[in-house]
Amino acid sequence: MKKELEHPLLHSINDFNEAKQVIAGGVNSPVRAFKNVGGVPPFIFKGRGFSLFDVDGNTYVDFVQSWGPLLFGHADSEIEERVISTLQRGLSFGAPTELETTLAKKLVISYEGVEKVRLVSSGTEATMSAIRLARAFSGKDDILKFEGCYHGHSDSLLVSAGSGCATFGHPSSLGVPRDFSKHTLVARYNDLDSVRACFKEGNIGGVIIEPIAGNMGLVPAKLEFLQGLQKICQQNGAVLIFDEVMSGFRASARGSQGLHYLVPDLVTFGKVIGGGLPLACFGGRAEIMAMLAPVGGVYQAGTLSGNPVAVAAGIVALEKIKRDPKLFERLEVLAHQFCEGLKQAANSCGFALQTCVRGSMFGFFFTDKEVQNFEDARQSDTALYATFHQKMLQKGVYLPASAFETSFICTPMDASIIEACVGKAQESFYEIQNQI
């Protein structure tokens, strides 16, 4: 690894300017624009294993891994081969294939409580459809989400906490009607009292939560909190949805169930289950899933849903996970190695750091206080994160372009590359401390 970027980002700057002419903001998903951390996003030419290669000729160790999907790193040869052999038979049929059933069976086997699934193309679709099902099954319009959890960008879920003790949310995006957001209540993560307050106020038919939150940085829910939440749902006839789009097949081979073994009514998966291609799903209890069209009255559909190429990639990813029982243990050791190294490096330069690991997921906050919810996360030093991000990027380490994202280990990584990245972190902290 070189000390500084070998090549200035001249082509990337050019590409970004050109993209801005024809793509809104120059990117197809906001975080890619590096607005929260400053600088120009390197434009990517290719990926191999744990490495990203930009158009300027620089190489990075990639801890983003396409925001989670690439458990086996970039261009995994087995996934690549299956994708190629599948696409040679046709790209899309809009008709059932055996592949879809194969993948569905793997999902049903992997997660307790999933009796039926429906495949879709994005996590946003999965959570949006799960919410619709929850409303239909419970016969109630209000839903509950948690501040700091992200479930994609559908109207009902782009809602953040109201001010003060208000429990009804307000739109977190322009264009979301208040008439929609008034049906979404927002509670504090890891806080059962705030859940109870919401249930008093609204007629809640569905609760959606990331059992291991990865969208306010990495903040796992406490076991007692999830148990309490499930009980409240049961007492009030509300459908409990675990959003495991990120944590599924990432925190463990059984998502959050590998850690606490709670069985929700519905669950959503995405990211890893598509092996790097657009694929997600929602699933759960058969009696709830039976409400979906064509059997039931809840409408949900998709031209490219269950696309054979994406499904084939997902099948290989799940086969590879099944074949390697020690996989997550190994990746977790590497995640701990990086986090411990990072913490020591930060502390040695006078910066407080909190770290968290769950399987192949890890996160860190510049704060001396344990982070249990979004309020805590927001109090961390995000400006320091931005500076650290830029320093690491300069040294060829690609971290998420926001303090509120999770980082990922992939299977091609090993202890020596982690050690090298810890070395880069040490250099970065030293430079920040000494304003170099």
Ligand X SMILES: Cc1ncc(COP(=O)(O)O)c(C=O)c1O
Q: Which of 47, 49, 73, 123 binds ligand X (CB under 6 A)?
A: 123
Instruction: Please classify residue 193 by burial: count the beta carbons closer than 10 Å to its beta carbon, then call 0-12 exposed, 13-18 middle and 19+ buried.
Output: exposed
Residue 122 binds ligand X (CB under 6 A): yes
Q: Is 381 a catalytic residue?
A: no
Which residue's CB is nearer to ligand X, number 41 or number 214? Answer: 214
The catalytic position among 106, 140, 271, 395 is 271
Q: Which of 54, 243, 265, 332 binds ligand X (CB under 6 A)?
A: 243
Choose one: 183-191, 241-249, 357-365, 371-379; the region binding ligand X (CB under 6 A): 241-249
Residue 306 binds ligand X (CB under 6 A): no
Q: Which of 245, 312, 316, 361 binds ligand X (CB under 6 A)?
A: 245
Which residue's CB is nearer to ligand X, number 233 or number 361? Answer: 361
Residue 215 binds ligand X (CB under 6 A): yes
Q: In this structure, are strands 239-243 and 266-269 parallel, antiparallel, or unpaired?
A: parallel
Size of the site for ligand X (CB under 6 A): 16
Which residue, 45, 171, 121, 148, is CA-closest to 301? 121
Which residue's CB is nearer to ligand X, number 273 or number 417? Answer: 273
C-alpha to C-alpha distance for 147 and 190, rounded to whole angstroms: 10
Instruction: Please classify residue 141 by burial: count the beta carbons closer than 10 Å to its beta carbon, then call 0-12 exposed, 13-18 middle and 19+ buried.
Output: middle
- At its nearest, how many Å lie between ligand X and the CB of residue 218? 11
C-alpha to C-alpha distance for 209 and 144, rounded to whole angstroms: 9
The catalytic position among 62, 142, 191, 243 is 243
- At its nearest, how many Å lie between ligand X and the CB of residue 408? 12
Instruction: Please classify residue 163 by burial: count the beta carbons closer than 10 Å to its beta carbon, then call 0-12 exposed, 13-18 middle and 19+ buried.
Output: exposed
The 321-360 site mask, x for binding ligand X (CB under 6 A), equals ----------------------------------------
Over 76-89, what HEC string results? CHHHHHHHHHHHCC
Residue 97 binds ligand X (CB under 6 A): no
Q: Is 395 a catalytic residue?
A: no
Choose one: 53-61, 83-91, 210-218, 303-311; the region binding ligand X (CB under 6 A): 210-218
Choose one: 116-124, 172-180, 283-291, 426-434; the region binding ligand X (CB under 6 A): 116-124
The 16-55 site mask, x for binding ligand X (CB under 6 A), equals ----------------------------------------
Residue 248 binds ligand X (CB under 6 A): no
Q: In this structure, are strands 280-284 and 354-358 parallel, antiparallel, or unpaired?
A: unpaired
C-alpha to C-alpha distance for 354 and 339, rounded to whole angstroms: 9
237, HSE (Cβ side, Cα atoms, 13 Å): 10
Using only the alpha carbons of the chain, give its radius of gyration.
21
- At its nearest, how many Å lie between ligand X and the CB of residue 341? 26
Q: What residues pair up with 47 in beta bridges, in sequence order?
A: 52
Which residue's CB is nearer to ligand X, number 152 or number 205? Answer: 152
Which residue's CB is nearer to ligand X, number 41 or number 396? Answer: 41
Nearest residue by C-beta to ligand X? Answer: 123
- At its nearest, how many Å lie between ligand X and the CB of residue 278? 7
- At its nearest, how many Å lie between ligand X and the CB of residue 13? 27
* Cβ-contact 4, 394 below 8 angstroms: yes
Choose one: 123-131, 228-236, 310-318, 363-371; the region binding ligand X (CB under 6 A): 123-131
Omega cis (within 30) before 412: no
Q: Which of 210, 265, 332, 376 binds ligand X (CB under 6 A)?
A: 210
Q: Is 271 a catalytic residue?
A: yes
User: Which distant-in-sequence residues (6+ apart) come within 8 Å of 224 by Cβ?
Assistant: none
Near ligand X in 138-167, by CB under 6 A: 150-152
DSSP string, 45-111: EEEEBTEEEETTS-EEEESSGGGTT-TT-BT-HHHHHHHHHHHTT-S--SS--HHHHHHHHHHHHHS
Q: Where are the alpha helices (DSSP H) in 248-325?
A: 286-289, 308-323
Residue listed under structure tokens 């049961």: 234
* Identity at 92, one-letter amino acid code: S
C-alpha to C-alpha distance for 187 and 195, rounded to whole angstroms: 6
The 61-80 site mask, x for binding ligand X (CB under 6 A), equals ------x-------------
Q: Which of 124, 373, 380, 411 binds ligand X (CB under 6 A)?
A: 124
- At its nearest, how many Å lie between ligand X and the CB of residue 184? 15
Q: Which active-site residues does the annotation give?
A: 150, 243, 271
User: In the complex, which residues of this chain contact ligand X (CB under 6 A)?
Assistant: 67, 122-124, 127, 150-152, 210, 214-215, 243, 245-246, 270, 280
